[in-house]
Structure 1
Amino acid sequence: MTDPTLDRTELPAQLSEQWDAIAALVADIDENQWRTPTSLPGWTVFDVVAHVIGTESWLLGERPPPHDPLTVKTDVSTLPHVRNETAVFNEIWVDRLRPMSGVRLLAVYREIVERRRKALAALSEEEWTAHTQSPIGQVSYGRFMRVRLFDCWMHELDLADALGVTVDEGGRRGELAFTEFLGGIPRVVVKKGGAPEGSRITFALTGPLARTLRIQVAGRAGYVDSFDEPATVEIQLSSGLFVRLGGGRTTADEHLDEIAITGDQELGLRLVSKLAFTL
């Protein structure tokens, strides 16, 4: 069955809307605001936008700009938050773009995403379904674009949080991005959260992406529609906090008054404390 969240008409349209949402957030900020720290280690508002430019430029077949000889050259591989080759790639783009002003960066961003819109529109069905390398391994190009939507949606939240503004985290764009995010949750509750065999875990999410997630550990962890027995633990929190915990943007200890745990308290606390997997 065709996955409706990978529709080659809707997904590029939502990705295009997502790019516009990022541009709108930074369109009227001043240079000091561009340099506001975000929850991402070492990155400012400027750096987050530069990162999006870097990835979309790479997808257009471009290389990072040359190092500015008037700035000190940084070995980005030595930065404490850089742990793999993907992070090195990301940091190189950000580092090379930092000498720009925020106004110039936004102009480059708009030019790059406009070219990406045209490139997506020109893709054939065969190209959309062909397998390609992505941050999550070999997947169809369409699936990679859903990963891109999630990444850009998450960065919209990063920018909004840093700038102290509220954005709509729901809607169809949020639903598609959240679908990509949710795919990693069953694995993380076992691999990082240590949920034992036989566990029945409920996440009761409130807010713009409200839903009830039921995960059963039976050989492997997976979503189920219902449990045959009561849940081992039920964790209630907002969808916004859930995605920020999963993205490593904050910690459960900072939000214990926003999390309600019923059942196995020890397991529940461990799960929300070990939820980060996308940073």
Structure 2
Amino acid sequence: MSRPPTHLDKSAVLDGLSASWRNIDGILRSLEPARWQANTALPGWTVHDIVAHMVGTELLLQGVPTPESDVDVSVLEHVRNDIGALNERWVRKLRTVSCTELHEMFRTVTTERLQELADLSDEMWNGITATPAGPDTYGRFMRVRVFDCWMHELDIRDAVAMPPRAEELVGPDSTLGLDEMAASMGFVVGKLGGAPDGARVTIELTGPLRREFNVAVQGRGRLVPDFGAESPTTSIVLDTVLFTRIAGGRTPPGAHADAISYRGDEAVGRRIVEHLNYMI
């Protein structure tokens, strides 16, 4: 590894997973069968497909082999990489399962996974493994799982027109999800957004999940607590949920121009927002 390993408190991460899965379970319990077929912001996927993806991922982490597919999923337009192909094979396999049965599968596998993770040794939790963010601790991998499931909760809410109330947004899942996003902001600002050397960029997130990401660019972008006595050279201000939707490729930034404001070097800020989608 070229960076220090990410050591995370296991109980905090499990609280995040539990909260995320509990929230998703509550939404699914409220849905009539027809609403499981609502299209989501993820190309080619319905609500049913998103739940199938989450179930398949947890089954995979339990050691269940990825199913074979009836077609070459790698040629599908919305499949862009090997991880996408793996996800698609689970989705297609579970597409014929009824929403009632799939919901029960979700509840069963998430309950089992929480117990398995609670029983995991500290050595295994802190051991280095492959993660979607590159080699890091298994704990970091599970924080990625919190982030992924939190994002999918928002996907489902968007698809069925059930926006979260403020009190539903704030919790250990959203906290850890934003922590995971913070880890990529140096790359997003410095590499994707092309902020120049010497830039000090603040992404100010508003709403119930208020947070601030500060990135200093010196050769590369690096997340920092603050800029000391210096002011940001660019500030970008937008609602936290909108930030997650743009960063996740769920909505184009141009569709929300009036909801994003800038201070300082606006050209740099706009370029960063245009390249904010960093997810695979």
Bin for the TM-score computed over the shorter chain: over 0.9
Measure how far apart 1:162 and its partner are. 0.9
Q: Within 5 Å, give how 1:186-265 maps onto structure 2.
A: 186-224=186-224, 225-226=226-227, 228-265=229-266
RMSD across aligned positions (CA): 1.8
Where structure 2 has 5 or more consecutive residues not aligned to the other structure, the ranges are none
- Does residue 265 of structure 2 align to residue 271 of structure 1? no
Measure how far apart 1:119 and its partner are. 0.9
Contact 2:67 2:89 in 1 (8 A): no
Q: Within 5 Å, give how 1:69-218 maps onto structure 2.
A: 73-167=70-164, 168-218=168-218
Amino acid at match of 1:113: T
Contact 1:186 1:215 in 2 (8 A): yes
Measure how far apart 1:137 and its partner are. 1.8
Separation in 2 of the partners of 1:66 and 1:23?
28
Amino acid at match of 1:256: A
Contact 2:41 2:250 in 1 (8 A): yes
- C-alpha spacing 1:242/1:23, structure 2 compared with 1 (3 Å): same
Per-residue CA deviations over 1:122-156 (Å, capped at 9, x if unaligned) read 21111111111111122111111111111111111
Instruction: Give TM-score, length-normalised by structure 2.
Output: 0.92
Measure how far apart 1:173 and its partner are. 2.3
Instruction: Give TM-score, length-normalised by structure 1.
Output: 0.92
Where structure 1 has 5 or more consecutive residues not aligned to the other structure, the ranges are 68-72
Measure how far apart 1:86 and its partner are. 0.7
Corresponding residue of 1:30: 32
Measure how far apart 1:211 and its partner are. 2.2
Corresponding residue of 2:22: 20
Contact 1:16 1:117 in 2 (8 A): yes
Separation in 2 of the partners of 1:108 and 1:204?
39
Identity in percent? 42
Corresponding residue of 1:59: 61
Contact 2:66 2:86 in 1 (8 A): no
Contact 1:64 1:96 in 2 (8 A): no
Secondary structure of the corresponding residue to residue 81 of structure 1: coil
Contact 2:248 2:278 in 1 (8 A): yes
Q: May I ask how many residue pairs the two structures share in their alignment?
A: 273
Measure how far apart 1:213 and its partner are. 2.2
